[in-house]
Structures are given as structure tokens and as C-alpha cells.
Structure 1
Amino acid sequence: MDRPFKIPQSVLVVIHTPALDVLLINRADAHNYWQSVTGAKDHEGESFEQTAVREVFEETGIACATGRLTDWGLENVYDIYPRWLHRYAPGITRNTEHVFGLCVPPDCPVTLNPREHTHYRWLPWREAADACFSPSNAEAILLLPQFADGCPL
């Protein structure tokens, strides 16, 4: 069975602790591509929040109920990296990414999906931004202090 094309609407979820340490995960299909949780909608009717909850659990094993998921009300529109264009319908070259934050306890366990990610690490927010391969991901992490708002769990 052929896989359907990806929907060019996705989420970016910056997972962080109250101390603003950020979880980064390394892509399995791209060496040294560190990022936050990202993922496309499964179907047009899936809300961005539903996509965020699903992707966080699929990629890290973290249930969003463990922490506090916050919609930052931000969207990034960017050109899809050429190496991944084949996943989208012909003629689709841009993606819209909706940004969320997820505050979790500092001892939150992480269980990676090995098909998607090979390693994880927690870094202070500025270091995490510097380590991201994606400019939109780095920019979102740099905004973390204004959106974390003390991060009460």
C-alpha cells in the first residue's frame, strides 16, 4: 500500500523544564540533526493540539498530561527541505508549522521511537537553540523565556 502524502501543516513542540532546560532529539534519518518534537497532521480534521499531543507521545513517550501543553499562538511558514520534498504531493514546497511549548518535570523520562530518533539530551535553552539544525526551531527556543511564564506544573 502506498503511503499518502504528508499534509504540509505541522507542529513544533518545545519540551522544557521549569528551569528552561530543553529536550532535543536527534533525527534517525539525518545525522546530527538535533531538534524539538515536530510532526505533520495525520489528517485534515486533526487539530494542531491533537497533532502535538500525538507527536510528543510517538517521538518521546511523554504523555502531555505529565506536564502543561501551551499553544504559543505562533506559526512559521518555510520551504520544505529538498531531501524531504518527496513526502509531499507534487507542487507542495512550503509547510506551515504551529508552535507549542510543553513544560515537564525535570525528571521526566524519555523513551525515543528508534525509527525516528537515535539520541536525546537536555540542554539549557540558549545552548539548545544553538544546537538546532532548523532556524525556526532555534527561534522558537529563543522565545521560551517569554512563553514559559514560570512554568507552573
Structure 2
Amino acid sequence: MKTQTREEIFTEAVLAHRNIIYKVCYIYAPKGMIEDYYQEVLCNLWQNFDQFDGRSKRSTWIYRVALYTCISFIRRKRPASISLSFDLSSEEDSSLKEQLEELHSVINRLGHLDRALILLWLEGYAYEEMAEITGLTQSNVAVKLMRAKNKIKEMFNA
């Protein structure tokens, strides 16, 4: 039986969870910079790969590294605004496109932590997993998520 090298284990982990990384980068990266953010996440994952201790799921650890990497990348780069972009085909209903644009605009106006919690909630993560990823307590996640949802409602009604 062949023992896997660190590089092989890392490659498998990245390939298995690349969608998680891209989703986080897609939400936080300005248009045209998703690949830069993705590369930054990969570098941080590689540098910290030996620190994964197995206390959480690997996907949770990768999500957390991706989230913190993107947030720190934003702080270093300090862009004027962070664009949440998406593409809909021309056949898509224009009202759906307008609603999605408005939703992305509203989510984009949230703070980093609120945006992260909304993203995790939309992905279907449990409060326990959200707490593990963000480093908050479960009750703090619940309160902050409720407040973020209320902010979104207020922005839609404004």
C-alpha cells in the first residue's frame, strides 16, 4: 500500500473542496480578481495544511481558511467596493435578474462577518458549523445571523 505524500493529500483536498473555495472567492473578490483570491487561498491552505488537526471536517477548515484569507486580502488591497457579480443568460427572466442584482447589492453592503454568515446560511450550514468556521459561539452566530437577515429586510424595504 502506497503512502500518500503531503502534496498528494493537499491536491486531493483542494480538488474535493474547490467549489467551496470558489464560492467564497466569488462573493468577496471584485470582478476580474476571483483567480487572484483563489490563488491567495491556495497559498494559505498550503502554508497551514499541517495545522489541520482533524477536530473539524476538512471542508469546514478549508471554508474558514478561504473566508479569512479573502477578508484579509480585501483589507490589504482596500478596494473602493467589492463587487458581487454573476451572469444570467439572455433567456432568463429580466425581473429575476433584477431581483438577484438587488439581492447581491444588498448583501454586498453588509459587513464582512454578516456577509460570511449569510453566505454560510444560504449554503445550508448548521449553526454549529458556522460557529466553527467563524470562531463565534453558536448563540452569537444565531444572534448575528438574525441581525444580518433583519438588515437585509430593512435594506429591501428602504
Find the structure with the greater CA-based Rg.
Answer: 2
Q: Which has the higher contact order (CA 8 A, sep 6+)?
A: 1
* Fold agreement, TM-score > 0.5: no
Q: Higher helix fraction: Structure 1 or Structure 2?
A: 2
> Relative to total residues, which structure has the larger strand share, 1 or 2?
1
Q: TM-score, normalised by structure 1?
A: 0.31
